[in-house]
Structure 1
Amino acid sequence: MAVPKRKMSRSNTRARRSQWKTTATALTTCPQCKANKQPHMACPTCGVYNNRTYAAAVRTEHEVG
């Protein structure tokens, strides 16, 4: 296993880590309730995916009761 011979400086470490970027999550609209949701996942608002309702997908924040 390769081991570095010298300690990497802070500037080199930070310069390397500056390239680690994230991308924003893609969002689509739910055909049922028109809320934003991630593609290929059940809607967090109404719990519908592919014309099926999944009760486990409904979050507790959205339940009224």
Structure 2
Amino acid sequence: MALPKYKTSRANTHSRRANWKATAAATVNCPNCGSPALPHMACPSCGNYRGRTYRSAIQPAHTK
């Protein structure tokens, strides 16, 4: 197996790794309440998915 003859420079390393970017998660609007939610998942604000309520909405403890 071949071995590198020279050390890879930082510029070459950084330019190779420049395409390792994380992409933001795609969101859709909930048809029930209109808040953004992940596709194929229950809405975090109202708990509905495809017309069914799977759990009650998660409310933060500090807001009432």
Structure 1 residues 18 and 51, CA gap change in structure 2 (3 angstroms): same
Unaligned runs of 5+ in 2: none
Structure 1 residues 47 and 23, CA gap change in structure 2 (3 angstroms): same
Equivalent pairs: percent with the same residue? 44
Q: In proportion to residue count, which structure has more helix?
A: 1
Structure 1 residues 44 and 10, CA gap change in structure 2 (3 angstroms): same
Question: Cα RMSD between the aligned structures?
Answer: 2.8
> Please, what TM-score do these two structures have when normalized by structure 2?
0.69
Query: After superposition, where does 1:13-24 map in structure 2 within 5 Å?
Result: 13-24=13-24
Unaligned runs of 5+ in 1: none
> Please, what TM-score do these two structures have when normalized by structure 1?
0.69
Structure 1 residues 3 and 59, CA gap change in structure 2 (3 angstroms): farther
How many positions carry a matched residue from both structures? 63
Structure 1 outlier segments of 4+, above 4 Å: none
